[in-house]
């Protein structure tokens, strides 16, 4: 069964460093998303991406964040200068988009720890 | 106030019990999702509903659009059902808005 994959599963970085979180969405899916979950809190939307551009972004997704689909398979989230408060679980999701109202499929997440 | 509220926040049950988790929302939606999050953190989609009722194995999800309410039922619960169950709604844009989750523990 096709699935969304994410790498790495756990990333530890120093405050101020740049990190890139990688996702491989389900093949042939058209819509891509990043969400995050701070420990003990609910999942929050960061950004949606379609047709090689951002469709929607939340207030959290400021200038420190960027997304890219550098090739036909990867979808990346870059945090330019990490802060302590960026420590969270980051989930990538994708959906096909061909059937109108269809499901989002989530990856296993990347746990980001900023020291 | 949260746009998506779940109850209860925590739930314990004995194996075999029938379980109900509730979700209320305060906004117009195009769809509602029930998701399962295991202790490792991964999120699995259980159901997506826009009306009526869906069943998958021992899981049943219902939604009442007029009352802005959905329920997730688990019949014949099992310890492997222990997880956090999350309700999330999709408004007129593409993003999901999540509830805080219900932590379920099923004891043998």
Instruction: Provide the sign of the torsion angle of the four alpha carbons B76, B103, B62, B6, taken in this order.
Output: positive
What is the rounded average pLDDT of the residues B59-79? 96
Q: Which residues contact A53 (CB under 8 A, 6 or more apart)?
A: none
What is the rounded average pLDDT of the residues B24-42? 90
How is residue B3 written in tokens? 């746009």
Exposure string for B24-46, b = 16+ CB within 10 A, e = fewer: bbeeebebbbbbbbeeebbbebb
A45/B43 CB distance under 8 A? no
Q: Which residues contact B33 (CB under 8 A, 6 or more apart)?
A: A103, A104, B45, B46, B47, B48, B49, B87, B88, B89, B90, B96
| Chain B residue numbers touching A40 (CB-CB < 8 A) | none
**Over the stretch B7-18, which tens digit does the pLDDT of each residue have?**
999 999 999 999
Residues on chain A bordering chain B, Cβ-to-Cβ distance under 8 angstroms: 31, 33, 35, 37, 41-45, 48, 50, 55-56, 58, 89, 91, 101-109, 111
pLDDT of residue A105: 92
Per-residue pLDDT of chain A (115 residues; tens, 9 = 90+): 789 999 999 999 999 999 999 999 998 899 999 999 999 999 999 999 999 999 999 999 999 999 999 887 899 999 999 999 999 999 999 998 766 667 899 999 999 999 9
A42, B99 contact by CB (below 8 A): yes
pLDDT of residue A12: 97
- Least confident piece of the model among A50-59, B22-31, B35-44: B35-44
Residue found under tokens 């689909």:
A69
Q: Which residues contact A79 (CB under 8 A, 6 or more apart)?
A: A18, A19, A21, A64, A65, A86, A112
Name which of A38, A91, A104 to mutate to probe chain B: the one with the most chain B Cβ atoms within 10 A of its Cβ. Answer: A104
Which of the four pLDDT bands, split at 50, 70 and 90, describes residue B27?
confident
CB atoms within 10 A of CB B74: 21
The mean predicted confidence, pLDDT, of chain B is: 94
pLDDT of residue A1: 76
The closest CB to that of A48, out of B31, B88, B94, belongs to B94
pLDDT of residue A4: 95
Across A68-72, A101-105, B86-90, B94-98, the highest mean pLDDT is recorded for B86-90
pLDDT of residue A100: 60
């Amino acid at each position: 069964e096709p699935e969304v994959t994410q790498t790495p599963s756990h990333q530890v970085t120093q405050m101020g460093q740049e990190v890139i979180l990688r996702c491989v969405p389900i093949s042939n899916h058209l819509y891509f998303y990043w969400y995050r979950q701070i420990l003990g809190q609910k999942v929050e939307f960061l950004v949606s991406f379609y047709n090689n551009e951002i469709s929607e972004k939340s207030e959290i997704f400021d200038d420190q964040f960027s997304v890219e689909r550098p090739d036909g398979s990867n979808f990346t989230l870059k945090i330019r200068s990490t802060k302590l408060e960026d420590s969270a679980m980051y989930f990538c999701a994708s959906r096909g988009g061909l059937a109108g109202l269809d499901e989002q499929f989530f990856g296993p997440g990347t746990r980001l720890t900023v020291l | 106030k949260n746009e998506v509220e779940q109850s209860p926040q925590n739930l314990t049950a004995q194996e075999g019990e029938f379980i109900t988790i509730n979700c209320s929302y305060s906004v117009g939606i195009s769809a509602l999702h029930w998701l399962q999050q295991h202790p490792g953190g991964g999120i699995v989609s259980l159901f997506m509903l826009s009306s009526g009722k869906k069943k998958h194995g021992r899981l049943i999800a219902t939604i009442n659009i007029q009352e802005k309410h959905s329920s997730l039922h688990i019949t014949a619960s099992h310890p492997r059902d222990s997880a956090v169950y999350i309700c999330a709604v999709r408004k007129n844009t593409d993003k999901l808005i999540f509830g805080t989750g219900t932590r379920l523990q099923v004891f043998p």
